[in-house]
Structure 1
Amino acid sequence: MYEIFVSHPFMLQSALFSLFFIVLSYSTRSHWFRKTNGKRLKLPPSLPKLPILGNLHQLGTLPHRNFRTLAKKHGPLMLLHFGSVPALVVSSADAAKEILKTHDLNFANRADSSVNRRMIYNCKDVSVSPYGEYWRQLKSICVLQLLSNKRVQSFHFIREEETEIMVRKIRDSHCGVVDLSGMFVGIANDVVCRSAFGRKYSEGENGKRFLMVLKEFLEVLGSMSVGDFIPWLSWVDWINGFDSRVERVAKEMDYFLETMIQERLKKGQEIAGDNFLDILLGIYMDNNTTGVSIDRDSIKAIILDVFAAGTDTTATVLEWAMTELLRHPAVLKKLQEEVRGILKERQQITDNELQKMHYLKAVIKETLRFHTPIPTLVARVAREDVKIKGYDILSGTMVMVNAWAIGRDPDCWDEPEKFKPERFLNSAIDFKGLDFEFIPFGAGRRGCPGISFAMATDEFVLANIVHKFDWELANGVDGKDLDMSERPGVVIRRATPLLAVATQFVCQ
């Protein structure tokens, strides 16, 4: 849901070491070949690689874009090498279906990462824990107790109250410039905090410190440990300070989480079960009757999952959706006409009314297709040797599905480089993991379980701000000239904040 195996700061290190590796090329060449006991293998197309580094130097700061460029030349299945780790890059819907459905069990494990082990309590969370009984128990808890449709609906009042606070802030701008990017991050954090802990952590010194630590936690979680791919260069993480940063951030985050748990337990009251932490503590304190065994670290790891998957991704979808609406005034007008027509003179939006807003849902789907939040999804690893599209994929191969490239594949989509929400009207294609040309949340056993939670926030916030305000880009910028560059990271955000001017809509 949130870790990508590559972090762009390593690219500088790669460049510095490249010359040294080239000198060593002939003495290390045998490192790249694997004995097959005489069996001839049909491997996917591969790219020329540097000794030791393999293809790490070809990732760039936005790997999903580089992968698509390479796939156009080498095909939808490419075998790359990241240091000593073979990596299969998948860029077609049919190949993704074989991996995420036909052979889903064989690819049910996540790629191992020393950063994940150190940051997420030895991988005791849902997202990256190894496939097995423990993972199945955690998945069951999350799906049934935390992220069910009933539970998501119970948090409607939180979405409503936090959206009203955001709307007031926009009104207070008095037609001034609004930093929509910042506002979307703020509301995503506040909704997740209240759902997870029953209170916000964006206020006061402790709250501000918590949000700073959370931001750094997500940055570190998306970073790569050199030793994971080139074991004999593990010392680089110590030299460049990465090891100490991981330890510091993990310790600070654990302090906040442990403090929250202690505060809740010290109240000495029966666990109410009205937020994620209450539910998890209730299961933790009543293991014998529930049949589920989780410990303190499991609780912290699951809470971290909720934050990592529910903040940046939610804010990013809203950010890109408003970006495209501001670039396409006709689409914005059509959406406003739908929302305002359904609500008429009413100001409050209910879940029942959201269900009637088909164009709103189409806009969000098109945003997910065009700006997939985690473009290459979360890396998996082959548990056994398997054939995919006639190619031999060996056990231990990391697998990355470029969902962003699949979402722009002309074999799957008409005019894929255009933002056209209409393509989803009267269409059965959905993002729930059954249509492999559209898998922004992944698919199969390891698909994201938080789809309902994320969509409930995105739909409600977007419907409210287009209902209550008319919008235009700040500083007279034309939509065609808007900077659309992306910022590298775990989740692909805009490189620059989205600035706009809001005018309050008055019902006629």
Structure 2
Amino acid sequence: MVAKFSSISTRKLSKALTVLTRDKSMVATSDYGDFHKMVKRYVMSSMLGTSAQKQFRETRDMMVNKMLRTFHKLVTDDPDAPIVFRDVFKDELFRLSLIQSLGEDVSSVYVDEFGRDISKEEIYNATVTDMMMCAIEVDWRDFFPYLSWVPNRSFETRVFTTEARRSAVMRALIKQQKERILRGEARICYLDFLLAENTLTDEQLVMLVWEALIEAADTTLVTTEWAMYELAKNPEKQERLYQEIREVCGDETVTEEHLPRLPYLNAVFHETLRRHSPVPLIPPRFVHEDTKLAGYDVPAGTEMVINLYGCNMSKEEWDSPEEWAPERFAGGRFEVADMYKTMAFGAGRRACAGSLQAMHIACAAIARFVQGFQWRLREGDEDKVDTVQLTAYKLHPLYVHLHPRGPRM
């Protein structure tokens, strides 16, 4: 991904992803070139870069605070009932995604093509859930390209219908925000930045704003849910993290400023990325010039998929890889470069643009959750580790019993 970038930097997408990404009209899927460099600069400058992250710090803090209040309310209302972690985290994370991408937490929007208002839950389903499921739709013609002329009506109907629904919702959301801007209500958000640049077509604008919406709302949820599953399953490791937080923060609430001083939290984050790779398979790359990889001659035209799950579960590279053991990453200060130990965010010039934000949200949330509560799995859920969707989405949602540790944080 680094040394051979010049020969393997081109994306090769399945037919489903080609349709859903409007033929690579996004940062993550576009081929490396002028368009890719321009739009990656846009997203880093306005939303995901170090300086841009400071603009949304208050919003991230508000998100975590609201989740803690919701957990406390659920425990108070019924102390013995297990809590569905995903329901709480998903709602607040999507709220953050909406604010960063569009400038406000949208509760509903009128969609011309539907002839009605749709709710926030419907917006989420159309822009996130349905898209993640549709991305793994298999078209047998991907495997037999010489038969690509043969129609596959059922596949095409599913994919194009889902894509059309997503685009209709995104156009409605953007239209709503353009009306806000015309009223003189400018906001610090990705959409306002892109409109001010005035260099994109309407289709490119739709795709880039949708990309920001879905990527902030999915993989961070996946990683945080797996981290809390493992901490609830391993009380001794949860206690070690809690004691580290106590030593560093005392009675203070954990903040993002504390993260560099919490090495075991850092280890929990990276071990979760290793054991539960949020993106198990990197989208295929197209080898566009003859090259040599690991001693093998790889001809131009080869399709290549990097199996991150296989790399992170290799017994040649890791001791007892099937075991979730944060200790393997413990012993040092947190460094930004550590985010590439497991390649969870890729590497080289195609590394994930949102890696810093993912670390901020996941680590701060994990620390606050453990600082505020003792976590215990619902009985019988210890071995529920199956996944579904394009990312390593937990097939069985995390159910937990929470016990408040003390005063509300």
| Both structures adopt the same fold (TM-score exceeding 0.5) | yes
Q: Match for residue 114 of structure 2?
A: none
Relative to structure 1, the CA distance from residue 430 to residue 390 in structure 2 (aligned partners, 3 Å threshold; closer, same or farther) is farther
Given that 1:159 and 1:460 are in contact with CA atoms closer than 8 Å, whether structure 2 keeps it comes out as no
Deviation at 1:206, TM superposition (A): 2.4
Deviation at 1:430, TM superposition (A): 6.7
Does 2:373 align with 1:466?
Answer: no
Given that 1:467 and 1:505 are in contact with CA atoms closer than 8 Å, whether structure 2 keeps it comes out as yes
Deviation at 1:131, TM superposition (A): 2.1
CA displacement, residues 475-507 of structure 1 (integer Å, 9 cap, x when unaligned) = x44xxx612332232001222111111111115
Does 2:265 align with 1:351?
Answer: no
Does 2:135 align with 1:221?
Answer: yes
Separation (CA, whole Å) in 2 of partners of 1:103 and 1:428:
30
**What amino acid maps onto 1:316 in structure 2?**
V
Deviation at 1:341, TM superposition (A): 3.2
Greater mean alpha carbon deviation, residues 202-211 or residues 300-309: 202-211
Separation (CA, whole Å) in 2 of partners of 1:149 and 1:207:
29
Given that 2:229 and 2:377 are in contact with CA atoms closer than 8 Å, whether structure 1 keeps it comes out as no
**What amino acid maps onto 1:218 in structure 2?**
M
Given that 2:291 and 2:298 are in contact with CA atoms closer than 8 Å, whether structure 1 keeps it comes out as yes
Relative to structure 1, the CA distance from residue 234 to residue 210 in structure 2 (aligned partners, 3 Å threshold; closer, same or farther) is farther
Relative to structure 1, the CA distance from residue 491 to residue 112 in structure 2 (aligned partners, 3 Å threshold; closer, same or farther) is closer
CA displacement, residues 253-296 of structure 1 (integer Å, 9 cap, x when unaligned) = 11221122222222315573511111111112xxxxxxxx3222
- Tell me the secondary structure at the aligned position of residue 140 of structure 1: helix
Give the alignment of 1:46-445 within 5 angstroms: 100-174=1-75, 175=79, 176-201=81-106, 205-214=118-127, 215-231=129-145, 232=147, 235=150, 237-238=152-153, 241-267=154-180, 268-269=182-183, 272-284=186-198, 293-347=199-253, 349-427=254-332, 432=337, 438-445=342-349
Bigger Cα Rg = 1
Given that 1:365 and 1:421 are in contact with CA atoms closer than 8 Å, whether structure 2 keeps it comes out as yes
Relative to structure 1, the CA distance from residue 439 to residue 306 in structure 2 (aligned partners, 3 Å threshold; closer, same or farther) is same
Deviation at 1:106, TM superposition (A): 0.8
Identical aligned pairs, as a percentage?
23
- Tell me the secondary structure at the aligned position of residue 121 of structure 1: coil
Relative to structure 1, the CA distance from residue 205 to residue 300 in structure 2 (aligned partners, 3 Å threshold; closer, same or farther) is closer
Relative to structure 1, the CA distance from residue 207 to residue 381 in structure 2 (aligned partners, 3 Å threshold; closer, same or farther) is same
Relative to structure 1, the CA distance from residue 333 to residue 434 in structure 2 (aligned partners, 3 Å threshold; closer, same or farther) is closer
Separation (CA, whole Å) in 2 of partners of 1:442 and 1:314:
15
Aligned length, in residue pairs: 393
**What amino acid maps onto 2:405 in structure 1?**
F
Given that 1:179 and 1:500 are in contact with CA atoms closer than 8 Å, whether structure 2 keeps it comes out as yes
**What amino acid maps onto 1:222 in structure 2?**
I
CA displacement, residues 33-74 of structure 1 (integer Å, 9 cap, x when unaligned) = xxxxxxxxxxxxxxxxxxxxxxxxxxxxxxxxxxxxxxxxxx
Q: Which runs of 4+ in 1 moved over 3 A?
A: 201-205, 233-236, 269-273, 427-435
Separation (CA, whole Å) in 2 of partners of 1:202 and 1:324:
33
Stretches of structure 2 that go unaligned for 5 or more consecutive residues are 109-116
Relative to structure 1, the CA distance from residue 360 to residue 446 in structure 2 (aligned partners, 3 Å threshold; closer, same or farther) is same
Relative to structure 1, the CA distance from residue 158 to residue 434 in structure 2 (aligned partners, 3 Å threshold; closer, same or farther) is closer
CA displacement, residues 143-171 of structure 1 (integer Å, 9 cap, x when unaligned) = 23321112112212112222222212211
Separation (CA, whole Å) in 1 of partners of 2:13 and 2:139:
11
Separation (CA, whole Å) in 2 of partners of 1:259 and 1:394:
45
State the Cα RMSD in Å. 2.4
Greater mean alpha carbon deviation, residues 443-452 or residues 198-207: 198-207
Deviation at 1:236, TM superposition (A): 5.5
**What amino acid maps onto 1:448 in structure 2?**
C
Deviation at 1:125, TM superposition (A): 0.7
Separation (CA, whole Å) in 2 of partners of 1:384 and 1:122:
21
Deviation at 1:317, TM superposition (A): 0.5
Does 2:363 align with 1:449?
Answer: no
Given that 1:375 and 1:492 are in contact with CA atoms closer than 8 Å, whether structure 2 keeps it comes out as yes
Separation (CA, whole Å) in 2 of partners of 1:296 and 1:191:
24
Given that 1:219 and 1:490 are in contact with CA atoms closer than 8 Å, whether structure 2 keeps it comes out as yes
Deviation at 1:386, TM superposition (A): 1.3
Given that 1:106 and 1:384 are in contact with CA atoms closer than 8 Å, whether structure 2 keeps it comes out as yes
**What amino acid maps onto 2:258 in structure 1?**
E
Given that 2:231 and 2:375 are in contact with CA atoms closer than 8 Å, whether structure 1 keeps it comes out as no
Given that 2:101 and 2:209 are in contact with CA atoms closer than 8 Å, whether structure 1 keeps it comes out as yes
Q: Match for residue 486 of structure 1?
A: 386
Given that 1:429 and 1:438 are in contact with CA atoms closer than 8 Å, whether structure 2 keeps it comes out as no
**What amino acid maps onto 1:383 in structure 2?**
H
Separation (CA, whole Å) in 2 of partners of 1:350 and 1:428:
16
Question: So what's the TM-score if we normalise by structure 2?
Answer: 0.89
Q: Match for residue 289 of structure 1?
A: none
Question: So what's the TM-score if we normalise by structure 1?
Answer: 0.72
**What amino acid maps onto 2:286 in structure 1?**
V
Given that 1:110 and 1:378 are in contact with CA atoms closer than 8 Å, whether structure 2 keeps it comes out as yes
Given that 2:260 and 2:333 are in contact with CA atoms closer than 8 Å, whether structure 1 keeps it comes out as no
Relative to structure 1, the CA distance from residue 140 to residue 339 in structure 2 (aligned partners, 3 Å threshold; closer, same or farther) is same
